[in-house]
C-alpha cells in the first residue's frame, strides 16, 4: 500500500461477525463522521480500529479516501504537514469534502492546533484519525471534534462471536443460582477468552503450538512498548521493557516511586513520564484510593496490566500461580466494570470499587479453587469497615452466598463478567 495514495475502501473491508457484534460502535462512528471534521478512533493495539472505520465508510457510501500511515521516522508534527500537502493536492477545484485517514497518530493540544489551523480551517476536509494511544476526549471536543474509544471484546461480546447468546444476569441470588447451573459450561469458553484477551487480532485465530502463540503475544507487546517509547524524547526501549516487566510481575501493588526510580536509574520526574507514556499506550491501567478522598497522591495509586495477556510473554511460568493470576486478572475486571478506585485504610483493602447505577459496590478478588471461612471473614471485615451493606467476592470456580453483617455474593469470575 503506497502512502498518500487513494484507497478503495470497499476492497479493504473485512466482513465478519465481529462487525455485527460491534454494530453500535460502527453506527456511532458513522454518525460522528457525518457531523464532525475531526474524528479520532482510538484503542489498544489489536482491537480492530481500522475494520470498524472501513465498515463505517462503506455504510456512508464513501468510495475513496486519502490514507497515510505514520511511520516511526515521522514525528507527529511532521505528519500534520504531510496531511496538508495531501489535502492541498486533492482539493484543487473541488467543492466536495475529502476524507483523510491518518493512521498510527497521537493527539495533544499542539498537534490539534496545527491540524485545525493548517487543514480543517482551510480545506473542505474531514480527518479520521486512527490511534493506538489514549486520547483526551474532552480536549478533542474543544476543537469541535469527537474521540471514540474501542475496547477489547468483553466476555459477553466474545460469546456472541462464538454464536452463544446469553440473556441478562441480574444481581439477585436466586436468579443467579439458576443461571449459574444452566450456564456452567461457559467456564470453558472463559478459559479460551483468557487466551485471546478480547483482541480482534487473536480472536478466532488458531495456533499450531504454544510457542507460536507466545511469539505472537511477544510481537504485540513489543509493538506496544515501541509505541510508548515514541512518546519519549529519549527512546530507550530496554528501559521501558524493564519497567513494564517489573510492574507486570507485581500487579495491583501500591507504587513506590523512589524504589522504582532507583531500579531504572532515573529520577522521579522521568519515571512519572515513562509511566504516563505506558498508560497512554494501553500497557497499564491505574486505580486511585477511594479512602484517601480521591486525592491524586502518588502513594494512593495501584497499577495493573491493561490487558492480562501482555504478561504471558514476560512471566509465562507464573500462569499456573493462582494468586499471581488473581492479581493480574484484577485489571481485566477493572476494565470490564470501568473501575477507577480501590479502597485501603487501616490495614484493610478492597481490590476494586464498582460504581453501578449510582450504587458503590466493593469487589474483592480471590482467584483460588478453595475459599476458607477465614478468607471470607477477612473480606467481610473489609466490606464492613468500608461501610458497605453488600459486596462481591470474585472467585475462580466457587458460587455461594453469605449474609451476616454484610451481604456477600461469591461468584466465579466468568459469571461476574456477564453481570458486569
Q: What is the pLDDT of residue 301?
A: 87
Look at residues 358, 296, 373, 362 and name the one whose alpha carbon lies nearest to residue 333: 362
Q: Which three cell numbers stand for residue 83?
A: 496531511
Q: Summarize pLDDT for 224-270 with one digit per residue, the tens.
A: 999 999 998 778 899 999 999 999 999 998 888 888 888 888 888 88
Check if the beta carbon of residue 287 is closer than 8 Å to that of residue 254: no
Check if the beta carbon of residue 312 is closer than 8 Å to that of residue 214: yes
Q: Could you please report the per-residue DSSP string of 222-278?
A: HHHHHHHHTTSSS--HHHHHHHHHHHHHSTTPBP-HHHHHHHHT--HHHHHHHHHHH
Average of per-residue pLDDT across 196-200: 93
Measured CA to CA, the distance from residue 269 to residue 87 in angstroms comes to 40
* Higher per-residue confidence, 150 vs 167: 150
High-pLDDT (> 90) share of the chain, %: 67
Q: What is the pLDDT of residue 393?
A: 97
Check if the beta carbon of residue 391 is closer than 8 Å to that of residue 404: no
Check whether 379 has a pLDDT greater than 60: yes
Output the pTM of the full model.
0.90
In which band, very low, low, confident or very high, does the pLDDT at 93 lie, cut at 50, 70 and 90? low
* Higher per-residue confidence, 359 vs 94: 359
Check if the beta carbon of residue 410 is closer than 8 Å to that of residue 363: no
Q: Summarize pLDDT for 11-63 with one digit per residue, the tens.
A: 333 445 667 788 999 999 999 999 999 999 999 999 999 999 999 999 999 87
In which band, very low, low, confident or very high, does the pLDDT at 94 lie, cut at 50, 70 and 90? low
Q: What is the pLDDT of residue 255?
A: 83
Measured CA to CA, the distance from residue 341 to residue 287 in angstroms comes to 5
Q: Which three cell numbers stand for residue 226?
A: 515501541
CATH number for the region 6-150 comes to 3.40.50.300
**How far, in Å, are 37, 166, 169, 182, 354 from residue 419 at the CA level?**
37, 11, 5, 15, 12
Q: What is the pLDDT of residue 322?
A: 87
Q: Distance between terminal CA atoms of the chain? A: 41
Q: Could you please report the per-residue DSSP string of 4-53?
A: TSEEEGGGT---SHHHHHTHHHHHHHHHHHHH-SEEEEEESTTS-HHHHH
Instruction: Kindly report, as residue ranges, where domains of CATH 3.40.50.300 are found in the chain.
Output: 6-150
Check whether 5 has a pLDDT greater than 70: no
**How far, in Å, are 9, 161, 189, 203, 206 from residue 196 at the CA level?**
28, 13, 11, 6, 10
Q: Sign of the CA dihedral 239, 260, 136, 109?
A: negative
Check if the beta carbon of residue 66 is closer than 8 Å to that of residue 101: yes
Measured CA to CA, the distance from residue 224 to residue 44 in angstroms comes to 9
Amino acid at each position: 500500500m503506497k502512502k498518500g495514495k487513494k484507497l478503495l475502501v470497499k476492497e479493504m473491508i473485512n466482513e465478519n461477525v465481529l462487525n455485527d457484534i460491534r454494530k453500535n460502535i460502527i453506527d456511532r462512528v458513522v454518525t460522528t463522521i457525518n457531523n464532525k471534521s475531526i474524528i479520532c478512533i482510538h484503542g489498544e493495539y489489536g482491537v480492530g480500529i481500522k475494520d470498524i472505520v472501513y465498515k463505517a465508510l462503506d455504510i456512508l457510501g464513501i468510495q475513496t479516501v486519502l490514507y497515510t500511515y505514520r511511520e516511526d521516522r515521522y514525528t507527529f508534527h511532521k505528519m500534520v504537514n504531510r496531511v496538508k500537502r495531501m489535502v492541498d493536492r486533492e482539493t484543487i477545484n473541488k467543492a466536495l469534502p475529502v476524507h483523510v485517514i491518518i493512521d498510527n497518530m497521537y493527539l495533544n493540544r499542539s498537534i490539534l492546533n496545527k491540524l485545525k489551523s493548517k487543514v480543517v480551517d482551510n480545506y473542505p476536509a474531514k480527518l479520521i484519525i486512527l490511534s493506538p494511544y489514549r486520547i483526551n476526549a474532552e480536549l478533542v471536543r474543544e476543537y469541535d471534534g469527537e474521540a471514540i474509544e474501542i475496547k477489547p471484546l468483553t466476555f459477553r461480546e466474545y460469546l456472541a462471536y462464538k454464536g452463544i447468546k446469553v440473556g441478562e444476569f441480574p444481581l439477585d441470588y436466586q436468579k443467579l443460582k439458576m443461571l449459574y447451573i444452566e450456564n456452567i459450561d461457559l467456564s470453558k469458553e472463559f478459559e479460551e477468552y483468557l487466551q485471546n484477551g478480547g483482541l480482534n487480532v487473536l480472536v478466532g485465530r488458531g495456533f499450531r503450538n504454544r510457542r507460536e502463540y507466545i511469539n505472537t503475544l511477544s510481537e504485540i507487546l513489543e509493538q506496544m512498548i515501541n509505541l510508548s517509547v515514541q512518546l519519549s524524547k529519549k527512546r530507550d526501549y530496554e528501559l521501558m521493557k524493564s519497567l513494564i516487566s517489573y510492574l507486570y510481575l507485581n500487579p495491583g501493588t501500591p507504587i513506590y516511586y523512589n524504589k522504582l526510580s532507583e531500579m531504572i536509574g532515573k529520577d522521579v520526574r522521568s519515571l512519572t513520564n515513562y509511566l504516563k507514556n505506558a498508560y497512554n499506550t494501553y500497557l497499564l491501567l491505574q486505580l486511585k484510593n477511594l479512602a484517601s478522598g480521591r486525592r491524586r497522591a502518588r502513594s494512593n495509586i495501584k497499577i495493573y496490566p491493561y490487558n492480562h495477556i501482555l504478561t504471558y510473554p514476560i512471566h509465562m511460568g507464573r500462569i499456573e500461580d493462582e494468586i499471581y493470576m488473581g492479581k493480574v486478572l484484577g485489571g481485566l475486571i477493572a476494565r470490564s466494570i470501568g473501575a477507577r478506585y480501590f479502597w485501603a485504610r487501616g490495614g484493610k483493602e478492597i481490590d476494586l470499587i464498582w460504581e453501578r447505577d449510582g450504587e458503590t459496590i466493593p469487589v474483592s478478588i480471590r482467584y483460588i479453587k478453595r475459599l476458607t471461612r477465614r478468607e471470607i471473614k477477612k473480606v467481610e471485615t473489609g466490606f464492613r469497615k468500608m461501610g458497605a451493606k453488600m459486596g462481591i467476592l470474585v472467585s475462580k470456580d466457587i458460587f455461594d452466598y453469605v449474609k451476616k453483617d454484610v451481604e456477600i455474593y461469591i461468584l466465579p469470575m466468568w459469571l461476574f463478567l456477564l453481570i458486569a
